[in-house]
Structure 1
Amino acid sequence: MEAIEMAEESDHCIRPAEAFSLLGNETRIKILETLWKAEEQPVPFSRLYEAADVTNSSKFNYHLGKLLGQYIRKTDGGYELRTAGKSVVGMIVKGSFNAHPQPDPFEVDEPCTKCSGQLMARYENEMLAIECSSCDRGHGRYSFPPGGMLGRDNDELLTVFDRRVRHLLNLAQDGVCPECSGKIRSMIEMGEIETHDAEISVRFVCQQCNHTLQAPIGFTLLNRSPVVTFYRDHGLELADRRYWRLPWCVSDDCTTIRSVTPHSFDVALTLDSETLCITLDRDLNLIRTRRIAL
């Protein structure tokens, strides 16, 4: 990765291997966790020392010194987390380091958008997938940190998953990587994708960490004003409808290719006796909308 190579060659960054080695101690992790939980920062030395529960002050000073600069900073009022320190504790809270839940698949109380069959939710390798048990249509598979699985019933879990997926794709659409905040490049792809029943999709790829998200073209319409207004005019709040209930979000059933050179697309959304037809260009900019009475 370019970012790792830059860190290896940089004169003002410590090497990645050294940065990770600094975390191999319970006292240091305790210091980071204490700063994370503090209601106000900076945290005075005395409070940090007391929370670390270390009887030897010189030992505490040694471990505190190892974290300075890379994970925490010292100010006139005490100590506070740097971005790297927040990231480390955040990964612990998310459960990526130490939690590996393996729940059984469970039923989703919403029908398949293709055959109206029973949807199932499956969690594996920190990914949550919504799939039809009858026709096997994929309704999306996206990352979901292990910590998000804890302390929630199935309905709460699905609600949070829906909100998380929307948030991740919103960031990607805005050109911001949801993992590292690096620059995102988007591209239109033709061909079947594994996670959805679609052959027309948009792929978002981070130029810094290579994080990738992929979804049907229609998914990019979730927060577009004409779509939100169209649903509201029919008495529906789009934000309250989980994305897998929307055929245009999980497949390309409602999408047609308008032109190939350059690419442009039509997406048709139908409610009751009215259709909203949206035309998008190759960069997924909205070119035109029209509402047609059926």
Structure 2
Amino acid sequence: MSEEGSGSSSSLLPEEAFSLLGNETRFNILRALWELLDPPESRPISYSNLMGYVGVRDSGNFNYHLGKLEGHFVESTDDGYVLSDAGEQIVQTVVAGTAVEQTSMDPVHIGVICPVCHGTGTTIRYDDETLTVQCTECDGIYPSRPGKLAEFHLPPAGLAGRDPVSVFESAITRVTLETRSMIAGVCPRCASEPTVEVDWCREHEGGDSGLCDKCDTTMQSISMYLCQTCKHIWRFPIWCNVLWHPATIAFFDNHGVDIEPLSWNYYVRGREFDQELLSEDPPRLAITVPADDATLQFTFDESMTILSVERDGPDA
């Protein structure tokens, strides 16, 4: 699998990048190059066509601003100009967040299974680029937000042309792929390697509602992945670190467990996994996946690196 690109851009400090983009003519040049793209057979845009499309008559002024972008957000070729990878990402981000009419959605019933009460009184709503999943029949997972089950970031473009169920499914797919990328050590935003920390509630008690008085959630542990380059942060239960692991997928398949790895039902299956803090010095964590009378146990260190995978039980 390959992805076409125009090459790498030279390094810029953040303040320099913001300064370059804080000019209307320069951003109009980036937008013009994006609007003139015709994938997959895109060709470079000539100087004269680009200048005419942007609508600048003063060639000296246009050449000055184009020159500022070259090597960073625009690449020049023998046949004309194209967006660099960085320039394309800038315009795509703006388009994903603004080029749609619908930017919110009132609560709507979708009826997927609630992982806490197992009812189907689940709804979704969308606001501020966030899709919130809630249960109308229980307190959910977070006591400060009654009924809240999960929140997923989704650009407004994700709503375009989709009914509520499709919006929900697209959000699950998106968050799954981003989570898997972080776990694999690749930031989905900038491709840098993230750092990881684990927050473990050592006195976790679920109580009647499933909520712990110590950590205020039903989740005993959280993995926090942070990209030091672009500051993208991603938090999720530590069982996500094994949910899509090939050994887990194969284990379920061997035991006839029907799964859809990009579905909500598979995502919440992780709540069935046992979690255990084996030791604190050195830190060792265990996640055990059940299926019938068999188990699959992963042991991790403090960086969520897998140290061992052990199977137990019939046909393990």
For the superposition of Structure 1 and Structure 2, which TM-score range results when normalised by the shorter chain?
A: 0.7 to 0.9
Alpha-carbon distance change, 264 to 23 in structure 1, aligned in 2, over 3 angstroms: farther
Matched, 1:152 2:132: no
Code of the aligned partner of 1:131: Q
- 2:265 matches 1:255: no
Matches within 5 A, 1:234-245: 234-240=255-261, 242-245=263-266
CA offset digits 1:14-49 (Å, max 9, x no partner): 823422213456742442323544533442417844
Which residue is 2:299 aligned to?
280
- Of 73, 86, 103 in structure 1, the residue corresponding to residue 75 of structure 2 is 73
Q: How far has the Cα of 1:172 moved from its partner?
A: 0.9
CA drift of 1:254 comes to 2.7
Across the aligned residues of Structure 1 and Structure 2, the Cα RMSD in angstroms comes to 3.3
- 1:93 maps to 95
Relative to its length, the structure with more helix (as a share) is: 1
Alignment counterpart, residue 124 of structure 1, candidates 124, 127, 131: 127
> CA, structure 1 residues 57+212, in 2 after alignment: closer, same or farther (shift >3 Å)?
same
Q: How does 1:94-109 map to 2 (within 5 A)?
A: 94-95=96-97, 101-109=103-111
Distance 1:20 1:173, change over 3 A: same
1:288 is displaced (CA, Å) by 2.5
Structure 1 SS opposite 2:110: strand
Q: Which runs of 5+ in 1 are unaligned?
A: 1-5
Alpha-carbon shift at residue 252 of structure 1 (Å): 7.5
Instruction: Spell out the pairing of 1:205-220 with structure 2 (5 A cutoff).
Output: 205-220=226-241
Cα distance change of structure 1 residues 53 and 261 upon mapping to structure 2, 3 Å threshold: closer
Per the normalisation by structure 2, the TM-score is: 0.75
State the TM-score, normalized to the length of structure 1.
0.80
1:104/1:74 Cα in 2 relative to 1: closer, same or farther (>3 Å)? same
Partner of 2:249: 228
CA gap 1:248/1:255 in 2 versus in 1, 3 angstroms: farther
Counterpart Cα distance in 1 of 2:123 and 2:27 = 40
Number of matched residues?
A: 282
Residue in structure 1 matched with residue 176 of structure 2 by the alignment: 166
- 1:24 and 1:224 map into 2 onto residues whose CA distance is 48
> Structure 1 CA distance, aligned partners of 2:12 and 2:219?
39
The question of whether the paired residues in 2 share the 8 Å contact of 1:128 and 1:143 is answered with yes
Percent identical among aligned pairs is 22
C-alpha distance after superposition, 1:202-257 (max 9, x if no partner): 110111122111111111112212210122234445344624544453x4763222
- Deviations 1:107-163, CA, capped at 9 Å, x for gaps: 233211221122222323212232322222254323211111211112222222111
| Contact kept? 1:162, 1:242, Cα under 8 Å | yes
Q: Please list every run of 5 or more consecutive structure 2 residues that lacks an aligned counterpart in the other structure.
A: 1-10, 142-147, 202-213
Structure 2 residue 112 is the aligned partner of structure 1 residue 110 = yes
